[in-house]
Amino acid sequence: MKPVLLDAGPIVALLDSSDAYHRACVQAVGETRTPLVTCEAVIAESCYLLRRIPQAVQAVLENVESGVFVLPFSLPQIARDVVRVMKSYRDRDVDLADACLIHLANELGTGDILTGMTAGVIGLALLLLVKPKTIGDFVRFPLNNREAAGRADEILRQIGQNPATYHRAVTIQYTLDPLVNEYLRRTIGVEAANRIYRDEVPAAFWTARFFRDSQKEEYFVVLRTDGAPHSIHDTLAETAPGANLTKEQAQGRAEDFLRDAKKIDLSQWKLVEAESKKLPSRTDHNFVWEQIQPLNAPTPGTEAAHIRISLVVQGDEVSGYRIFIHVPEEWLRRQNETTFAKTAQIVLFLGFLGAFGVAFLVIFLRNLKSPEIAAVPWRRIGLWSLVVLGASLVKFVTLEPLYLLTYRTEQPFSTFLAQLAIGQTLGATLSYSAAILVLGLGVFLLLRGYGLDCRPFSYKFSGPYYRDAVIVMACGWAIIVGLQRLGYLLGAIWAVPRYAFAANVPQGLDGNWPALGAFANAVTYAFVGVGVVALSLGFAARYLRSRWIQMILLAAFAVLSAGRWGSAGEFFQNSLLKFVEFAVLWLGIRYVVKLNFLGYFLLGIVLSLSPAIDALIRQPNLYYRTNGVILIAAVAFLLAMPAVWLRSAARRREVGDRDAVPV
C-alpha cells in the first residue's frame, strides 16, 4: 500500500479540536487504510505546537509508540541525504522537517517506480507479441515530394504546358475509404483486401495540382507512388470550346484510351453509367465501367462489391481516369443510418464535456481574488506557451501544399493568401491564449487541491525527479502502446461487425520538412496533454476525492466517447477498451506519477513522434529515412536532457559539500 506522508499541520489538526481543518483531517485519517509516515523533526514540531493542549503531546508519542505514526528512518541514518536536500532547495527556505519529508517522499516513491516499470514491461510484451492485421500497411513511397513534383512537371510538359506558368501543390491522396475497408474486411478478409489494393486498385498516389490565378482551367496530375503516370485531370471552364461528339463517338474514344493506354480487356467489363452534358461550346460525357467479376460472393438477395473505372470525355479530350471499389449502396445506407441511440451518445458526450468546461470556468471566475490565483506563475506560463505559438506557425509553413490545395479559382490568389495568413495568425494567437488558459487553470486547481506549497512547474527539482521523468516517458509509452495492442488482441479474439475500418498508412510525408512538422505537432500535443493532466489532477484532488466517483465518471466518459459503432458488439467492445485505457492511465497519473509534469511532457512528445518515426524510417526514400533519423536524434536528446540536469544537480551538491564549513 502507498504510504501517506504527514507534516506537522495535519497532526496538529487531528489533535486540536479548535483547528479549522480538524473534522476534515479526522475524516481523512479515518478513511485511509495506508500507513501514516512521518519523521522525527515533524514529531518534535508537532509536540511544540500542541504543548498548550492537555494530553496532546502524550497522544502524539503514544501514536508513535503504537505504530499509528510510522517513522521508517532515524535522523542519523538519513542525515547526509537530508543535508543534500537542504542544499538543493536552499532558495526555498526549506527547514529540517521539510527536508526530511522530501527525502522520505523520494525513498518511498521507489515502489511507484517499480509498479510503473512492471506495467511498462507488460505493455512492451503486448507490443512485441500482438501483430495487428491492418489494411494499407504495405504502402511505401520511393519518391519524396520534391521528386514527385519533378515527375509531374515532366508530364505537364509532355502535353504542351509550361509548369513554370502555374502554381503547384503536391500532396498524397489515398483511396482507402474506411467504410469500403470494413465491407472488404467482413466479406473477403484483410489479406485479400490488401492484395486488391496492392495489385488492382492502387491505394495511394502522388497528386500535383497546377493552377493559375483566377483561371478556371487547371491540371491535376496523378502519379503512382513510384512516379509512374496514372492519370491527368483537365478542368475546363464551361465556356471553353470543344467538339460536340455523340455519346457513341465519345464512348469509342474512351474505350480506345482504356485499351491502348491502360491495357484493359473490356470484355471483362460492362458499362453501367453514361451521362452527357451539353455546354455552350462543347459536349462533355462521363462513363463508368464495372468489372463483371465481383470481389466477393454475395449472399442471396444482396449485391456484391465490384471494381469500377470512370472516365471523362470533354469535347474530344479524354481525361479524368479513375479506378475505385464500389460497394452496395444499401450497405452504405445502413452503415450511415442515424439512430436515436447514436444521436443520444453524441449529445450526451458534448454535454459531458461542456459541463466540465463550465465547471472549470465557474470555479476559476469565483476565485479570481483568491491566493491560489495570485500564486499562479502567469508570466512564466505565458513564456512557455510561446512554444505553442511557434509550433502553430511552423505547422502552417510545413503544411503549405495542403493549404494551396484548398484554393478556389473564383477568387484572386492574392486575396486567398491574405485570408490564409490572417486566419493562421488568428489561429496561432488563439492557440497561444488557450494554452495559457488551460495551463494556468490547471496550476490554479493544483494549488487548490494540493496547497500553496505545490510548485508543479518550478525551475529546480531534485535528482530523483529527473530520473522518474525518464522512467515515466519510457514506461508510459510502453503502457499506452500496449493498451492499443490489447485492443487489436480483443478484436482478434472477439470479432464484431464495425462501422468502419481505418487504414494504416503513412501520414505527413507530403508536407515541407516532415521531421519539423512532426516535431511541431508533438510539442503542441505534449503541451496540451500537460494542461489536461494538471486540470484533471487538481480537480480530482479538490472536488472528486472519492475513488468510486472517479471510476464512475471514467466509465461514463468511456461509454460516451466510444465513437461511432456499427453493432452492439462494437459499442460494448469500444466502451470496455476505453474504460480499461482510461482507468489504467488515470490510476497511473493519480496514484503513481502524480506531479511529475516533466515526465508527462516527455511522454507526450514520444507518443506523438513514434508513429511519425515509424512511417519515415520504413520508406525506401533516403530523404524520408533521414527525417526519421532526425526525429530519433530529437528523442535521444530529450532522453539525455534529464540526465544532464541530474548530473548538473549532483555537481552543485558536490560543490556545496566542498564549500561547507565543518563545525
DSSP assignment string, 201-240: S--EEEEEEEE-TT-S-EEEEEE-TTS-EEEEEEE--TT-
| Pairing state between β 283-291 and 269-278 | antiparallel
Residue 515's pLDDT band (cuts 50, 70, 90) = very high
Q: H helices then E strands: how many in the chain? A: 23, 11
Please determine, for residue 659, whether its predicted confidence score (pLDDT) is greater than 50: no
Please tell me which residue, 127 or 30, carries the higher pLDDT value: 127
C-alpha cell at 595: 506531479
What does the pLDDT average to over 578-588? 91
Residue 350's pLDDT band (cuts 50, 70, 90) = very high
CATH topology of domain 4-108: Rossmann fold (3.40.50)
What's the pTM? 0.81
C-alpha cell at 408: 478556389
CA dist 633 → 519, 521, 602, 639 (Å) = 12, 17, 14, 10
Residue 655's pLDDT band (cuts 50, 70, 90) = very low
pLDDT of residue 108: 66
CA–CA dist 179, 336 (Å, integer): 9
Residue 263's pLDDT band (cuts 50, 70, 90) = very high
What does the pLDDT average to over 397-408? 92
- Give Dmax over CA atoms of the chain in angstroms: 110
Please tell me which residue, 351 or 467, carries the higher pLDDT value: 351
CA dist 612 → 170, 281, 446, 637, 643 (Å) = 20, 49, 33, 17, 25
C-alpha cell at 158: 509532355
Lowest-confidence range among 44-48, 129-133, 274-278?
Answer: 129-133
Backbone Cα Rg of the chain: 32
Residue type, 27: Q
pLDDT of residue 661: 42
pLDDT of residue 264: 93
Please determine, for residue 112, whether its predicted confidence score (pLDDT) is greater than 80: no
| Pairing state between β 4-5 and 36-37 | parallel
C-alpha cell at 568: 452492439
Please determine, for residue 581, whether its predicted confidence score (pLDDT) is greater than 50: yes
What does the pLDDT average to over 454-466? 64
pLDDT tens digits, residue range 364-377?
888 888 888 888 88
Please determine, for residue 124, whether its predicted confidence score (pLDDT) is greater than 90: no
pLDDT of residue 492: 86
pLDDT of residue 660: 42
Residues 6+ apart with CB under 8 A from 216: 235, 236, 237, 240, 409
In the chain, CATH 3.40.50.1010 sits at 4-108
What does the pLDDT average to over 617-629? 95
Q: SS3 string of 474-493?
A: HHHHHHHHHHHHHHHHHHHH
Provide the β-strand partners of residue 172: 206
| Closest to 438 measured CA to CA, from 476, 381, 393 | 381
Phi (first) and psi of residue 428, to 5 degrees:
-65, -40
Residue type, 411: Q
CA–CA dist 599, 584 (Å, integer): 17
